[in-house]
Structure 1
Amino acid sequence: MAGDRRGHPRRRGPPGKLKAAGRAWALSRLGRADSREPVRLDADLIHQFEILGAPIAPGALPAAPAASEGFEVMPVNWPAVTAFLGCETQWRCAAGLAGLIWLGLDYGAVDVVMRRCGLADEVFTDIQLIEQAALDVFSEDMS
């Protein structure tokens, strides 16, 4: 398939980085932590275990790395990520009894952002990868 990134001959970076950006964006919108990330053992969590009567011996577990406040974006992915962020208010949503249902980006608005930023057509596929990762997170939230 010509438009399918999996078979695209011009793959510009390691797989998964754009999807990770979409996942990070959607989780931040929902105010949630990533369930795929391991729980970080910090002083507060150690204290909670002590309250429950299950103290953790010092050094029993490896120290958790410091939590990151940001998300690393590879330079090759900046055009797609900045274009996606330029479209972040252009989502089509439906409100129902189950809450807000995220349907996807308004591609007419995406086209305007891309033209205004002078982006190449290939960036659109990258934006779709980010969008799909975000939609996957939003659908997890519905379950």
Structure 2
Amino acid sequence: MEKDFEIQPSAPHYCCVTDMLGRVDSMNTLKLGEVVAKKLLEMEKAGNITGYHVLLSNIYAEEGNWVNADKVRKEMREKGLQKEVGSSWIDIGGSVARFTSKDQDHPHSDKIYEMLEGLAMEMKKSDRSPQINP
């Protein structure tokens, strides 16, 4: 990142990498993810960054450590932190459209969901459903 693109890694970059590592079952990356997530929380104490709390809670949940996952979520509630809704952006002819999960605010959301439902039906008919574990 630094060498090829001259971008200095920031806390959100480390968070993304930790999240990716936490999804890999080999090399005890869940433990690594826990250590990094806790460090990120220490670095960002003043900012109360919600994403790091969610990351740590998800790491605990992936381990099946529901006591600690619930503890982190409880801390979030006590601090008044809420997870932001994930979103995607697409640039169409110079105009950027933002989409969120179950988005009903987009002016064409009815048509978009109708199209998605049609595509899902076509995939089922042709048995070309996406492969999660190739």
TM-score range, shorter chain: under 0.3
Please identify which structure carries the higher helix content: 2
TM-score scaled to structure 2, two decimals?
0.25
The structure, 1 or 2, with the larger RCO (C-alpha pairs under 8 Å, 6+ apart) is 1
TM-score scaled to structure 1, two decimals?
0.24
